[in-house]
Amino acid sequence: MHDREELYVNGKWAKATGTEKIKVINPSTEEIIGTIPVGNLEEVDYAIESAREAFNYWSKSKIGDRIEILNSLAASLKERSEEIAQIITSEVGTPIGYSRTAMVGTPRVVARSYAKILETFQWEEEVRNSLIVKEPIGVCAFITPWNFPLHQIIGKVAPAIAAGCTMILKPSKEAPLSAFILAEILDEIGLPKGVFNLVTGHGSEIGEYLSAHSDIDMVSFTGSTGAGIAVSHAAANTVKRVTLELGGKSANVALEDADPILVGKKAIQACHQNSGQTCSALTRLIIPKSMEEEVCRVVTERNEKYKVGDPLDEETRCGPMVSEKQKISVMNYIQKGIDEGATLLSGGVGMPDKLTKGFFVKPTVFKDVTPEMTIWKEEIFGPVLVITTYEDEREALDLANDSIYGLSGGVWSKDEERAIKFARNMRTGQISINGGFFNVSAPFGGFKASGNGRELGIHGLEEFLEIKSIQR
């Protein structure tokens, strides 16, 4: 059992004053694997006060000291990588292999990348008679989700440290355990007191309070679009900076000269990775009518072989949904797809074969999905791929952009320049061409209802900076 009773504030672990606990459930076994304390608003105020005081000196800290902290953080994450991967798999249900690479490996690389960025980052420039200076924005509040718990935290914490900001973290209550390990690491490597503070509890209370607080200079939120709107409303009265990384319903488009077998093979993983619980998943597959039969055949074969089960099994590709609530939600979407007339190619409602417990769903594929259908429009956040066809490239682009979201996307073509030309017209924040790899140094974020602001790379660092102009 991973029972946590203390919060980390002002460089110290202190037992939470309240008695309420939040249970952490293993979604594969439905067993309780730990508890975390529910902090109260007085403890949040103390965290904000500590961060405000720490900002006075951390904002003026030497760049070399920040580089050392970030490199030490990356090294410590590497040392504890297996422990963290096992914990994230137990609280999220992510297959262990993917936990090692995406849940721990990527955050480690992100932390190291900000140390590298600081080596050459230009904090000042001269423009005619002005000195343009970049300064840390101040005290930041981070509200993070459960699907990539450590990665989403490091994507905020690392650039904040690099910028010279201080912070209060409120992690997801479904998957909070890796945040406590991060606090332990930051304490051990000597991050000055008050720079990082951890308070756990309910987002509806603590998240809203942080967002509205006048001593918070910036809120960075990752989660659902509805919750992001609530954060924006709460923050509006204090005119603080708000960055949002929200939902997605991303299009994966095969142009007419694409290889249909390759498209079919890659489409399942692009949709189903992390058991489909990925905001940037490519969940809408848009293909030429001429390749429908071949692509659907390959997709169906791949989906049937996509092993569901114990996430600690090295061969498992799809684990459970994070909670019973999420399982029910995904199954309801699958049923709605059937009810609204989409053609079920693979999967469907109900538990996968041979599984009797855990929050599992069947990886599912629909074809003949039209833009009026719910499963085309709404983010399902589970392993459900929807397929539609087009007659010409103009229609393909219209279908790709037919979404309130704009977070990610994919384009397939034997002609890379043709694919890039198509990608330039997609209203979305990040696009892979022929399966191009994720780049931690490139900006990540969305258009439209997928949010505002960017994370990762230099663009992620600049979100935490204010700009001052000094004329002379």
Q: Which amino acid is at 115?
A: A
pLDDT per position as a tens digit, 47-96:
999 999 999 999 999 999 999 999 999 999 999 999 999 999 999 999 99
pLDDT of residue 326: 97
Quote the tokens at residue 412.
């397939």
Domains in the chain: boundaries: 2-246+450-471, 250-439
Beta-bridged to residue 284, according to DSSP, are 251, 386
User: What mean pLDDT is reported for the chain?
Assistant: 97
Give the Å distances, CA to CA, from 364 to 64, 218, 322, 431, 450: 50, 39, 17, 24, 24
What CATH architecture is 250-439?
3-Layer(aba) Sandwich (3.40)
User: For residue 105, what pLDDT is reported?
Assistant: 97
User: d(Cα 363, Cα 351) in Å, to the nearest integer?
Assistant: 10
Q: Is the pTM of this model over 0.85?
A: yes
pLDDT category of residue 231 using cuts at 50, 70 and 90: very high
pLDDT digits (tens, 9 = 90+) for 88-97: 999 999 999 9
Beta strands in 347-392 (DSSP E): 364-367, 384-390
β 405-406/447-448 pair status: antiparallel
- pLDDT at res. 447: 98
Beta strand segments in 64-105, E: none
At 205-214, the pLDDT tens digits run: 999 999 999 9
Q: What pLDDT does 76 receive?
A: 98
Range 2-246+450-471 has CATH code 1.10.10.10:
no
Helix (H) or strand (E) holding 162: helix 149-163
* pLDDT value at 300 more than 90: yes
Structure-token pair, residue 332? 């309801």
Q: Helical H runs in 360-426?
A: 374-377, 393-400, 416-424
Active site residues: 245, 279
Domain 2-246+450-471 identical in fold to domain 250-439: no
Pairing mode, if any, of strands 405-406 and 218-222? unpaired
Average pLDDT over every residue of 336-344 = 98
Mean pLDDT, to the nearest integer, of 224-241? 96
pLDDT at 368 over 90: yes
Q: Which two tokens stand for residue 399?
A: 């279908």
Has residue 1 got a pLDDT over 90?
Answer: no
pLDDT, tens only, 352-361: 999 999 999 9
The pLDDT of residue 156 is above 90: yes
Give me the residues paired with residue 125 across strands: 132
